[in-house]
Amino acid sequence: MELNKIIKILEEHNYKYKVKNQVIVVSLEFSQNVVIDLSNSSKIVISDDLVNWNFLTGCIKMSLKNAILYNFVLLIFFGFFCQYAAFIDYNFTSLLLTFIAWVLLFSVFYLIKLESFKLQFKILTKKM
């Protein structure tokens, strides 16, 4: 697929994007970027990034897969901390449940956004 055809598709659907060499970075909402790498002529590589001040990692830049793993590890440590705090008569259960709900909500939100963009992109490129 040619770079110009992909740019035309992105412009028709009002996506914000940046082009650098054979890499297109499409900006989605809430600090999520989709990277379309065209440097390999046999296939298109689509990856993702969560950047500056997103709802899952804060200011740390990483992929969605790594952000879910990062939050899972934080959740385990925070769960152990809450269990320890319960022994010394502090109750952080509601805070733990809020953190779990936050991570689940935004993980699913970012995952749905990414996969729907990929699906829409594949459908639109097959039409061309």
Looking at this protein, which amino acid is placed at residue 92? Answer: F
| Local confidence band at 1 (pLDDT 50, 70, 90 cut-offs) | low
Cβ contacts of 35 within 8 Å, gap of 6 or more: 23, 24, 25, 26, 45, 46, 47, 48, 49
| Local confidence band at 127 (pLDDT 50, 70, 90 cut-offs) | confident
pTM above 0.85, yes or no: yes
Mean pLDDT of 93-97: 92
C-alpha–C-alpha distance, residues 88 and 113, integer Å: 42
